[in-house]
Structure 1
Amino acid sequence: MNVRRSAAVLTATAATALIGAATPAVAASPSPSPTAVIPAGLYGTADPTYDGVWRQSLALLAQDTVGVRPADQAVKWLTGQQCATGAFAAFRADPAKPCDAKLMVDSNSTAAAVQALAALGGQRAATDKAVGWLKSVQNADGGWGYAPGGASDANSTSVVIGALTAAGAKPDQVLKGGKSPYDALVELALPCDAGGAFAYQPDKQGKLAANADATAAGVLGALGLGLAPEAGKKADAVCAGTGSPTPQQAAANGAAYLAKAVAKDSHLMSVLPGAENQPDYGNTADAVVALAAQGGAEQAEKPLGWLEKNAGAWAKQGGPAAYAQLIFAAHATGSDPRAFGGTDLVAALNATGPTPQASGEAATEKPGDEDTRDDKDEKDNKGDSDDGFGVWWTVGVFLVAGIGIGFLISGRRKQQP
């Protein structure tokens, strides 16, 4: 699952390599900052070079999903990362410096930011500009790769579909050469005799290989959904049909593949060359979301139960993006994220960054937050304002082939059981 422009490889931080929390596949400028300085307003304490915008977007979206109003400081950090073109990079150490050709902007960071800002409201100008940029880099097959001009992949195309939906656009009407994002996604769907999964990308010979990560992403993309959907109507996950499926059937086929993949152990496994196989927490969480969205909460009951029993330590080490993934899994299944296997995921997420303005019924502001708050009415009127890791990085596009990193992250290993 990758887009390669160079063979040079960098190793990410040791902590990320151990826990594999959600990070974008190719998420860095070719000239990352030499020191891990954590900006005020950013969630998490790990080096943000490769995943700052991604983890911030997931954190803010997860907070909104559970009724938490994020700190203005956190929202302003995210909006301040946007380039004048509308695009986002994984991280800009100096937002005051204009974006230039050397900065690697990408579809994943941009689409995740759109989903978060659209959910929060009051950021119409920012989301419209970002969607305009995404449309400008759409590939001729209707899809998106991680970086502009890169070959379309299931993960990137799916996260962009979620962004388009969140911003009020209709993905089937976002066309390039007569092709929509759904056309690109269906082309990456395997037939039922090959399991019904989605592939990340065709290999060099044009063949498709089943990938659980791409499948979890592809199911949501084919349904036109974003990162934080609610449970769908009860439906069986059965692979059916021949030839090119409809997006809805491709989603059902993909769900059938995921259901089979988690049937034995109730979780997915990570398979990396030269490494011992181990549970894949992040992609299991993504599979829960996909299964519930396609066929209802009951379809995801077993892997959800496994996460409740086993994912606490992973999330604690993984930080905001990992907590967000589990919150999305709880939300999609109607579970309580404040009592998730003995962990209050919401409180744990909130503790990784600026104290939210309000959590449920109580305001929990830090002193000084009043100075950075936007007009309350603007925030409340959502959408009405015009304001705006065994993980390896391939230099240039920084390929990731990680352990348990979230499904909307392109550039992962090409096969997964």
Structure 2
Amino acid sequence: MLSREAHAGVIGLGYVGLPLAMTVARNGFRVTGFDIDAAKIVSLEAGRSYIEAVPDAVVAAETAAGRFRSTTDFAGLADCDVIVICVPTPLTRHRDPDLSFVTRTTQAIAERLRPGQLIVLESTTYPGTTDDVVKPILERTGLASGADFFLGFSPEREDPGNRDFETSTIPKVVAGDGPDASRLMQAFYGAVVRTLVPVSSNGTAEAVKLTENIFRAVNIALVNELKVVYEAMGIDVWEVIEAAKTKPFGYMPFYPGPGLGGHCIPIDPFYLTWKSREYELPTRFIELAGEINSAMPKHVVTRLAEALDIHSGKALSRSKVLVIGLAYKKNVPDTRESPSLKLIELIEERGGATCYFDPHVPEIPPTREYGAFRGRRSVMLDEETVKGVDAVLISTDHDSVDYESLARWAPLIVDTRNVFHRKGVSAPHIVKA
């Protein structure tokens, strides 16, 4: 590792795996990326990236230099000295952890496991997964962790759309199963990131990631609840937050929205609530936060229906709504767990018609929950389109949207992101929700 002669394999070339693979390759390691999606491999072999955080030029350069290749053939895992698992960890329909991607990937590694390899899990999960789920699968080969192979956990900390940080500049929490694994983890990641944060165990490292996202989920739930209460009082929660954050100590601003999105905040807290049942301990704060955040799309649609009734006398069931933003956060194409999809579903369940505009998402990708929406395409955001709907619902506040023109054209706007106030645009037909 110190000489950069180790061959690294990264399994899962998505929002976590591809940036990691490019970072490792740029630091002089030979990297093989593995993914079951053949379309991704075709794109990468042509020097094209499908993730905004990784420019085409970086993929092309590392491929041309011979430091990066990608494949769907997992037989190549046998040649890797370090194998990093970056696969999804979603929830089941019953909101329980779904570790099927992790277990299948670990089984694929076990089939090729050899002495001397370092196996790393980066997928977010509950404390104990690395040692209690991954390790037994690998040790069924007859090889022992800490003696024949080495096992560690390092939580991913990617933030799509954040221009201030990239994989190499985000402090990296690392842990290993025993002292030798810990040293190897520090040697590997220390070669590719600027700052290491070693912790005592894999379980601790797993808990770090959950704590980060539970903190955010609980605080977002708090301001979402305050939003509903202050609305009833005729108080603008956004104005309250802006004033409160001028206090130079003891306060950190969080902002309300139409619901939680992304792979982390809506999902990670439920990993801990599930695991806590094993210890017969309740997680009331976390579960309440989940309930509040999950209720936000319904609250927004209720506000939309009320605004339509007041401003046009038209019921939602007879209205057409243009949803601005399909991605879960601004300036990215990531639709995972996006509240926009839930908003569209709720509007249509009430008889309304919808269309959407998103400059980053030209077409709705396939999802497990919203398969019926697959293939719907973004409309043009022009005067004719906007004047042809009864209301515009701001779900994601992409910077590239012309909000001034939107305010002139739209008969009614329901703004869940306070974007018009931030742009200095106010009018009677703009309603916050």
**TM-score (ref. length: structure 2):** 0.32
Structure of greater Rg: 2
Greater relative CO, 1 or 2 (CA 8 Å, sep 6+): 1
**TM-score (ref. length: structure 1):** 0.33
Q: Please state which structure has a larger fraction of its residues in strand.
A: 2
